Amino acid sequence: MGVVIATLGVGGAVYYLAHTGRLPMQQRAAGQKAEVVAVTTHPMVLEPLLVNLSDADGSSYLRMAMTLRVADPVDKKSAAAKDEKGKDAKGADDTGAAVRDTVLTVLGRQTAEGLLAADGKEHLKAELKTALSEHNADLKVKDIFFTDFLVQR
């Protein structure tokens, strides 16, 4: 009977210390959680694009609009500097122009047959991600969403 009472007393003390944060083990776990940085993203909406496709007859074109899910910079200094300045309009325009150029280059190599195939859009997304990571190393594209997609032959 005394063992049961002693076990309940110790268990109650540990429970109390754990929930009030006074247990040293609990403090270390909280410190480790603070070090983990969550990756946040933001959308980058591209205006609609109109591209001639590389078909043999030269009469096919693609009209599309897309949104990229881009990872926010992890560098705390650049993020703080950007917050202080507000929106860095020139940097955003330069990035947007570079992204549009890369996307237009990739789209210009496509054919109507390839885009209309069963896995054509998924293949295009993979090719766009690869090209964007090669040409725009600072831009970390997590996902690509087509918001408008029309192939005209």
| Domain ranges within the chain, ordered by starting residue | 2-35, 41-152
CA-CA distances (angstroms) from residue 84 to 72, 87, 94? 16, 9, 20
Question: Would you state the pLDDT for residue 75?
Answer: 61
Give the orientation angle of helix 120-135 with respect to helix 89-108, to 10 degrees.
Answer: 130
pLDDT in tens, 116-126: 999 999 999 99
CATH topology of domain 41-152: Tetrahydropterin Synthase; Chain A (3.30.479)
Residue 150's pLDDT band (cuts 50, 70, 90): very high
Predicted pLDDT at 67: 96
**pLDDT for residue 17:** 72
Query: What's the rounded Cα separation, in Å, for the pair 43 and 143?
Result: 10
| Better pLDDT: 23 or 47 | 47
Q: What is the pTM of this model?
A: 0.64
Higher pLDDT, 5 or 116: 116
Q: Can you give the pLDDT at residue 72? A: 86
